[in-house]
Amino acid sequence: LHEKGWGVDVVSGGEMATVQAVTGTLENTLFNGTYKSVEEIEFFMQNEGGHISIDNRYEIPMLEAAAFKLGRQQPVIMRINLDVGAETHPMVLTTGYDQQFGISIGFAEEALKQIYDAPSLLFSGIHVHIGSQIKDPERYQKAMSECAEFLYKHRAAIQAEVVFDAGGGFFSPYAGDEVDHELKVYADAIHTGIQEHWQDNYRVMIEPGRALVNNPGVILYTAGALKDDRGEKPYILVDGGMSDNPRPAVYGSEHKLFNISSGKNGEDAMYAVSGRHCESGDLLVKEAMLPSDTESGDILMSTSTGAYTFAMASNYNRVPKSGVVAVSSSGVVELVNRQSFQDTFINDI
């Protein structure tokens, strides 16, 4: 992605260090998030970081102090919180007046004055992120229209290239039968919204992480015990669970599951597929349709797991994290080593 000119949205020092190690620079990087430590801010600036998205007024003097200390003119954008009626799961809703993200539009003018009065900060534009798994492109049009209206009203405060960061959250199907838009549909909505109030040159940033990597990713599980004494649905217990994919437990998410072991000829039957952890909520799929001759040792493939699985993985119950490989027409490339038992306590003192 770096070689193709893509940038990266980071929210922690660990993510910054990863990008720095891979690309050698943070120049094409946006530092986002609700909490930014002084250490993270200075690391970002010292490595020629691109834009910083200001989430709250508390950050403004911190950013000014760090930039002044380092003799840097730091481009910043301001994340504002709009209520555009985004319809999605409440756990992935990131806008609205009862959410923790961004500066409420009613306080944005006062925050902008603070930014403008900070001599080491260069105000560049507006950032909004309305949520994840947004199906309706018109929500983006409405949000960007409000952003453009605000920015046009305060255009005299702009001190660098004009940026509209439309966030991400473009819908990515999981069960395979939901509505799915081409990214161009979202792009058209974003530009239409901006151009309702802004006619000069501008740059758009988007954060389409899930929409890019989710569907190419799969997780492979090995079936262990089958319990057929649990009523209408037998249970299949697998060697992973909420430590490698917490989404079903946290969000109630559903993933398609396939038995990819050879020689399976049975008609589809319904199973409950459970993880290995000591939690009743560790249920990967409540109603999985799998061949009736599924047995212990079979390999089960969970689809659409390229996003918010490995990134959210843990060592709960001291279960080692799985390895990650990339498979393409060019071959197989190992990306992340599988953890050993000892790796699960390597940082313990």
User: What are the contacts of 339-346 at 24+ separation with CB within 8 A?
Assistant: 339/315, 344/315, 344/318, 344/319, 344/320, 345/318
DSSP code at position 257: E
Distance CA 15, CA 26 (A): 11
Distance CA 12, CA 21 (A): 14
Contacts of 282 (CB under 8 A, 6+ apart): 241, 242, 249, 274, 275, 276
DSSP code at position 321: P
Say how many Å lie between the first and final Cα of the chain, rounded: 38
Pairing of strands 324-328, 331-336: antiparallel
**Structure tokens belonging to residue 309:** 């699985």
Helices 138-153 + 183-195 axis angle, to 10: 30
Distance CA 84, CA 99 (A): 13
> Which H or E run includes 227?
strand 219-227
Contact 183, 171 (CB under 8 A): no
**Structure tokens belonging to residue 281:** 């909520």
Write the DSSP string, 276-311. Answer: SSS-TT-EEEEEEEEETT--TT-EEEE-S-SSSSGG
Question: Other CB atoms closer than 10 Å to residue 66's CB: what's the count?
Answer: 23
* 278 assigned to active site: yes
278, 332, 346, 349: the active-site residue: 278
Phi-psi region of 236 (alpha: psi -120 to 50; beta: other; left: phi over 0): beta
**Catalytic amino acids?**
278
